A and B are shown apart, each in its own frame.
Chain A
Amino acid sequence: MISLLTRVQLCGFKEENMERIYLDHASSMPVDPRVFEFAKSYLIKDYANPSSLYSIGLEIKNAIEESRKKIAEFINAENEKSIIFTGSATESNNLALRGTALRNIRDGKEVLASAIDHISVINPMKELQKNGFTFNVAPVDPYGIINLEILESLLTKNTTVTSLMYANNEIGTIEPIKEVSKIVHEKGRYLHVDATAAAGRLPIDVQEDGIDLLTLSSNDLYGPRGAAALYIKPGVKVQSVLLGGGQERGLRSGSENVFAIVGMGEAARIAQKEMKNESERLKKIRDELIKEILKIEDTYLTGHPTKRLPHHASFRFSYIEGESILLNMDMYNIQIATGSACSHKTLEPSHVLLAIGLKHEEAHGSMVMTLGRSNKREQVPVIVKGVKETVQRLRQLSPLT
């Protein structure tokens, strides 16, 4: 906070004008106060281990099962037994990919993901190569939509696991899951869908969409961090990746994070009820932001213009660099994200932006805004002003203009 204030003072801005405008909900979300109220007793009062057989242990076990039911309803799963709680979306993705590929190794040693899948999908897939698997990558078009013909040509009967995001977190594009499911089930075997970015924004129905494995994250539903879920369609065989006491049907050993799990179920219940109205509200604000920001010269939308998450706006600006955009926007107390190399530990630009065909220098100038409950329509002019001034300032600095 001190460094922020120093930076603010350096720029001559007045502190009192600086309401925080948080536009990075894809990165972290607040816990809904209703969720916190609902689950807080499991932190301080009902702290027994759900595996214990005394009555308080059984009561807590029941609270977990209630949460499981809510998650199953949220995605229209066949039954609540198909929901496994894990500690994070990364863990759910690892369990879905490694757990399924290794369990079904006798049926084939090929796995497939799209070029824009999350790093927690790509890295477990790469790791499977050490177990002798072939890892195929299906390309996407300039909007980020998976190429169905190439997908079909890459699938064989040995492809036991195919993974695709429901919608992409960096460019907001929504994938044609139903069509992909049809192709995967004709030519390959199981379809895993990472719905971390989409859940809570779009209605998800695993039976209607034809999904075998689905990753959900608690925090992305306004639930506490430290809980996530993996839906496993009845009949799909998966083995554990964590070995231990055999919790969660032996698929996820480790004492349950009861507070986060109970919170996640309640967050999903609220999301199911409020999602439609909230998504419509955010879409209006988002559309206005896109309209205004695209008026800036040499500015382009990344991702699909209509098949995109309702809370998501992403851009690239020519001649400037994303980390500078992020830091400059922070001086307006507006928090955004970027796919620039400088913001990553690897110093490589976002693989998603490269996959949609951007050149390296184009990918460096990206900005991602993801809206949430705290955002209001009145903030639009403030955000637009911040972006305009930031872009203008950095372009004055840039040798490329």
Chain B
Amino acid sequence: MNPKNVGVIENPDGYGKVGNPVCGDLMEIYIKVKDDIITDIKFKTFGCGSAIATSSMVTELAKGQHVDDAIKITRNDVADELDGLPPQKMHCSNLAADALHEAIKDYKKKKK
């Protein structure tokens, strides 16, 4: 277990938060964007091993990508990069991708 991109970004260009600690998973993703390219990305996760792994993986996948490409990253992409997840843990990868999508939507809203 050696997650990458842990932390927060002060004054992020986009911020996404999904999940609920009651259900056992809560994720936050912060992005810094320049010319629609994600230049920095950080996360914080309350959750199981899969949740931490998928958060870390989704930040790795999105880093350096154009926001319009990054928003297409799906739960399956995340799980595939991790060489699969047990069926009952698939919702963890869903959450990680959702948090990224929320952060990108937030960025686009702010840009308008």
A: which residues have CB within 8 A of B? 7, 10-11, 319-324, 327-328, 331, 340-343, 345, 347, 349, 359-361, 364, 396-400
In whole angstroms, what is the CA distance A399 to B21 when docked? 10
Q: Chain B 1-31, CB within 8 Å of chain A: the 1/0 string?
A: 1110010000000000100011110111000
Contact among B17, B22, B50 with A359 in the assembled complex (CB-CB below 8 Å) = B22
CB distance from A319 to the nearest CB of B (A): 7
Is the CB–CB distance between B88 and A324 below 8 Å? no
Interface of chain B: mostly helix, strand, loop or mixed: mixed
* 5 A-B residue pairings within 8 Å (CB atoms): A324-B1, A342-B51, A342-B89, A399-B17, A399-B26
| Closest B residue by C-beta to A365 | B46
Is the CB–CB distance between B23 and A319 below 8 Å? no
* Residue B44, interface by CB 8 Å: yes
Contact among A10, A340, A342 with B2 in the assembled complex (CB-CB below 8 Å) = A10
Q: Chain B 63-74, CB within 8 Å of chain A: the 1/0 string?
A: 000000000000
Tell me whether A349 and B1 are in contact in the complex, defined as CB-CB below 8 angstroms, given that A323-B49, A397-B44, A399-B46 are known contacts. Answer: no
B: which residues have CB within 8 A of A? 1-3, 6, 17, 21-24, 26-28, 44-52, 88-89
CB distance from A364 to the nearest CB of B (A): 5
In whole angstroms, what is the CA distance A10 to B89 when docked? 23
Is the CB–CB distance between A361 and B21 below 8 Å? yes
Is the CB–CB distance between B44 and A361 below 8 Å? no
Tell me whether A323 and B3 are in contact in the complex, defined as CB-CB below 8 angstroms, given that A345-B88, A399-B26 are known contacts. Answer: no
In whole angstroms, what is the CA distance A340 to B22 when docked? 11
Chain A residues near B52 (CB-CB < 8 A): 324, 397
In whole angstroms, what is the CA distance A390 to B51 when docked? 16
Is the CB–CB distance between A324 and B47 below 8 Å? yes
Contact among B1, B17, B27, B88 with A347 in the assembled complex (CB-CB below 8 Å) = B88
In whole angstroms, what is the CA distance A396 to B50 when docked? 17
In whole angstroms, what is the CA distance A342 to B24 when docked? 8
CB distance from A396 to the nearest CB of B (A): 7
In whole angstroms, what is the CA distance A239 to B68 when docked? 67
In whole angstroms, what is the CA distance A327 to B53 when docked? 12
| Closest A residue by C-beta to B19 | A399
| Closest B residue by C-beta to A347 | B88
CB distance from B73 to the nearest CB of A (A): 20
Is the CB–CB distance between B49 and A319 below 8 Å? no
CB distance from B23 to the nearest CB of A (A): 7
In whole angstroms, what is the CA distance A364 to B50 when docked? 14
Is the CB–CB distance between B46 and A398 below 8 Å? yes
Tell me whether A342 and B48 are in contact in the complex, defined as CB-CB below 8 angstroms, given that A11-B1, A360-B23, A396-B6 are known contacts. Answer: yes
Contact among B2, B26, B50, B89 with A11 in the assembled complex (CB-CB below 8 Å) = B2
Contact among A321, A399, A400 with B48 in the assembled complex (CB-CB below 8 Å) = A321
In whole angstroms, what is the CA distance A161 to B69 when docked? 62
In whole angstroms, what is the CA distance A349 to B25 when docked? 12
Is the CB–CB distance between B1 and A327 below 8 Å? yes
Chain A residues near B49 (CB-CB < 8 A): 323-324, 327, 342
In whole angstroms, what is the CA distance A321 to B49 when docked? 9
Is the CB–CB distance between A400 and B21 below 8 Å? yes
Tell me whether A321 and B22 are in contact in the complex, defined as CB-CB below 8 angstroms, given that A10-B1, A11-B2, A347-B88 are known contacts. Answer: no
Chain B residues near A349 (CB-CB < 8 A): 24
In whole angstroms, what is the CA distance A340 to B47 when docked? 10
Contact among B1, B17, B45, B46 with A328 in the assembled complex (CB-CB below 8 Å) = B1
11 other A-B residue contacts (CB within 8 Å) besides A10-B2, A349-B24, A397-B44: A321-B24, A324-B47, A324-B52, A327-B49, A331-B1, A340-B24, A342-B24, A342-B47, A345-B88, A360-B22, A398-B45
Is the CB–CB distance between B24 and A341 below 8 Å? yes
| Closest A residue by C-beta to B7 | A396
Chain A residues near B26 (CB-CB < 8 A): 399-400
In whole angstroms, what is the CA distance A361 to B24 when docked? 6
In whole angstroms, what is the CA distance A347 to B86 when docked? 12
In whole angstroms, what is the CA distance A342 to B89 when docked? 8
Contact among A10, A320, A331 with B46 in the assembled complex (CB-CB below 8 Å) = A320
Contact among B27, B28, B48 with A340 in the assembled complex (CB-CB below 8 Å) = B48
| Closest B residue by C-beta to A390 | B1
| Closest A residue by C-beta to B8 | A399
Is the CB–CB distance between A319 and B2 below 8 Å? no
| Closest A residue by C-beta to B22 | A360
